[in-house]
Amino acid sequence: MKKKWKILSEKKEDIIQTLLSNRGLVAKKDIGQFLHSEHPGEFTAKDVDIDPQALKKAIARIHKAIKKKESIVVYADYDADGITAGAIMWETIHAMGGNVMPYIPHRVEEGYGLSVKGIDAVREQYDPSLIITVDHGITAYKNVAYAKSLGIDVIVTDHHVKPDKLPECCIVHTTSLCGAGVSWFVANALSGNCELLALASIGTIADIVSLTGANRSIVKYGLKQLNQTRRVGILALLRDAGLTVGELTTYDVSHMLAPRLNAMGRLVHAMDALRLLCTHRQDKAMLLARKLGLTNKERQQLTIDTSVHAKNIVHERLKEGLPKLLFVSHESYNQGVIGLVAGKLVEEYYRPAIVVAQGPEVSKASARSIPGFNIVEAIKSCSDILVDVGGHPMAAGFTVETKNLTELQSRLEKLADKKLTDELLTRELRIDMELPLAAITGELWQKIRDFEPFGFGSPEPVFVTRGVTVSDVRLVGADGKHLKLRVSSIDAIAFGMGDLYPKVKTGKPIDIAYTIDMNTWNGRKSLQLKLRDIMVQ
């Protein structure tokens, strides 16, 4: 799909100043905080929009439970954010001498979050007097009431959007952090121990929250910790993924580590992922890491198969025109991969997508969106025909009675027709500035490192150079999916752009949008461009 190039600045004088300005950083103080982020331990509850009184109350209740040897259950979610959040909270309370056990529900058998089934299970296994939810619970009004009716206190720690009716219990909540970030914040207030930032950084990157403010600090210092880790579980996971400790980036976490942690909750049960993070035994760590790797391969294939099926359904509807919101439902879909499939549809067609795992009576759905269309609010506008809904502006999940699917699809498509303009449905590549190739030096590459970590809300600087002459071009990769070029005297790689090979000719000028990369091959380092888009003149 064609991209619209949006150049953020026409200035060409000071590259670094332009990059900072494009990120809204003009004041000296803001620039200083961005380039030299303070340690997450320096942030107060107010800094991250957590109610200080609620945090104080939660800490007091946990201290009391530890002191009195009460049975405590840390009730986590089954995605990478929830698993790391669970590991942080469990490990902190356990290290403080608490009688604490972790619990993660089964995605299909118990469903998302705090459920009656889950509460009954922890009661039977551990008979807790305190349940601490991590990465969920804010929408569990009825189920918190059920736990309380059994004499179980509940502390909710969550970052999802607040519903109209809140649970009647102690709530530590903010939408400024991810679930693992909230969990780390509580754990740090409990023990003053900052050592679990590595886990918090994995959760923060995996949950695609904005890498600004405290999140930026968590990832910056957490990655540093991760690159020095001695945790046998993480080291085993890195070995299985073919990664090297000391060289880990946000990309490695989001594309290699997080999917392995996520795969367990998607297809089997997430508890083994949590066990891997927390184990001290090397033999156990290797076995669990291998299991996560194999499950992830299975998940990858299932995602490919389901995506092909979903795209075929979309293609069948193309005769009537592509709807502004894609709604795909089928009884063969596995609940564990529908969110990934929705993401693939957004990637392919650049419009909001909802994918439904259709059940005989009740169906589960995942939604992904594009900037400018708040998907969770759109779905919530149909609450009268939903069982439950939760999520963020860009990603959401919900449960619906199968008999209501047709009406739900109709209502959401009508809403999308009203709200989504052609402009919003045009994929936009945001480019920082134009740059002559001569300006690309090792010194510039080094200065751009100060802008790390890169991720959602903290984009890697993108440049454009027009009219560059191609001196060499060839297809690379197993299926010739990628382009390798030489422009002027610098190498460039264009991942996934193999289809442009017939159009890109040697000796002919092209316009390129790119990021600046340092390529290491056989111990030698050289600058290269990672192309984000090519325009053939």
> Once rounded to an integer, what is the mean pLDDT over residues 100-128?
95
Position 184 scores a pLDDT of 98
* One domain for residues 14 and 131: no
Q: Is residue 522 part of a domain?
A: yes
> Which of 85-94, 137-146, 387-396 is least confident?
387-396
- 186 pLDDT exceeds 60? yes
185 and 46 in a common domain: yes
User: Which residue type does 528 have?
Assistant: Q
Q: Which domain holds residue 525?
A: 4-35+428-536
**Phi, psi values for residue 84, rounded to 5°:** -70, -35
Check pLDDT > 60 for residue 21.
yes
Question: Considering its fold, how many domains does the chain have in total?
Answer: 3
464 and 526 fall within a common domain: yes
23 and 86 co-located in one domain: no
30 and 54 assigned to the same domain? no
Q: What is the pLDDT of residues 265-288, one digit of tens each?
A: 999 999 999 999 999 999 999 999
CATH (domain of 478): 2.40.50.460
pLDDT given for residue 428 in this prediction: 92
Element (H, E) at 308: helix 282-317
Residue 228: pLDDT band with limits 50, 70, 90? very high
Domain assignment present for 253: no
Q: What is the DSSP letter of 427?
A: -
- Write the secondary structure of 97-135 as one string of H (helix), E (strand) and C (coil): CCEEEEECCCCCCCCCCCCHHHHHHHHHHHCCCEEEEEC
Which of these three, 194, 227, 252, is where a domain ends? 194
Alpha-carbon distance of 170 to 90, in angstroms, equals 18
pLDDT in tens, 440-488: 999 999 999 999 999 988 999 999 999 999 999 999 988 889 999 999 8
Q: Which of 391, 419, 447 is the last residue of a domain?
A: 419
Whether 351 is in a domain gets the answer: yes
Query: Distance between CA atoms of 326 and 307, rounded to whole angstroms?
Result: 13
Instruction: Specify whether 455 is located in the same domain as 525.
Output: yes
Which percentage of the chain shows pLDDT scores above 90?
88
Domain identity same for 357 and 459: no
For residue 250, being part of any structural domain is answered with: no
Distance between terminal CA atoms of the chain?
Answer: 18
Strand extents, DSSP E, 376-523: 388-391, 395-401, 428-431, 433-434, 463-476, 482-487, 490-494, 509-521
377 and 445 together in one domain: no
Query: In this structure, are 9 and 132 located in the same domain?
Result: no
Among all chains, which residue has been given the structure tokens 């969106």? 369
pLDDT reading at 11 higher than 80: no
pLDDT at 2: 63
Q: Which of 194, 225, 260 is the last residue of a domain?
A: 194
Work out whether the CA dihedral 156, 162, 163, 166 comes out positive or negative.
Answer: positive
In this structure, the answer to whether residues 45 and 186 fall within a common structural domain is yes
124 shares its domain with 26: no
Mean pLDDT over 104-109 rounds to 92
The percent of residues in the chain predicted with pLDDT above 70, rounded, is 100
